[in-house]
Chain A
């Protein structure tokens, strides 16, 4: 069965510091992986997705993620945090066993300190 685990329900960084949000997946087949961002009182928006074309994926707002098969990881990074990055971030995997479900991690709330 496919699954995702997000380590750290809350992460705090200083403005200008590196952002690192962790996501590990479990899948017996090449996964399709996604990162979404949710701002307060809004729905989820796609940040980036991995579809096997390239291991380093660039997304919107300066975020990127690297797919590492050996570590079963898809961590999200941004070199320099901005106050506007404060939000909740979700990692997700698409189930490919004959259904079209997605499985989401429990989310990481990012706080950016001035």
Chain B
């Protein structure tokens, strides 16, 4: 199994509070991704990173920011959590070539009350 961990695995928070989710990899892969998974929507890309300090937006980036100061860590921050951000968040990594698949972390279940 690819070495990807996510923390925390579960979190309950209140509307308006900031939340940071962490993704850590031991594979030294260049690309890292944050997705959210909601029923009926599959996986939707929030942000991704193509190198240290290099990030770009995905299709559902509003209300989220990311940072990557080291190859192994990719942080997702909800600046001011809303109930619509209640979801399961997955981190994924991939290597350089186009035919490389993604490897997924175990997910973080976030509930915003």
A contact residues vs B (CB 8 Å cutoff): 9, 32, 34, 36, 41-46, 49, 51, 90, 92, 94, 96, 99-102, 104-107
Contact = CB atoms under 8 A, between A and B. Distances in A.
Contact of B90 (A32, A44, A107): A44
Given A43-B90, A100-B48, A32 B98 contact: yes
Contacts of B44: 104
B40 A9 contact: yes
Q: How large is the interface on B (under 10, 10 to 19, 20 to 34, 35 or more residues)?
A: 20 to 34
What are the 3 closest A-B residue pairs judged by CB atoms, nearest first? A43-B104, A51-B99, A106-B42
Nearest to A35: B101
B40 A106 contact: yes
A94 B98 contact: yes
B28 to A, nearest CB: 16
A99 B4 CA distance: 22
Chain B facing A: main interface SS: strand
B83 interface: no
Contacts, number: 56
A45 B107 CA distance: 12
Contacts of A92: 102
A6 to B, nearest CB: 8
A56 to B, nearest CB: 17
A85 to B, nearest CB: 19
Given A34-B101, A43-B104, A90 B90 contact: no
Contacts of A90: 42-43
B64 interface: no
Contact of A45 (B31, B50, B104): B104
A36 B48 CA distance: 19
B42 A100 contact: no
A100 B30 CA distance: 10
A107 B102 CA distance: 16
Nearest to B31: A100
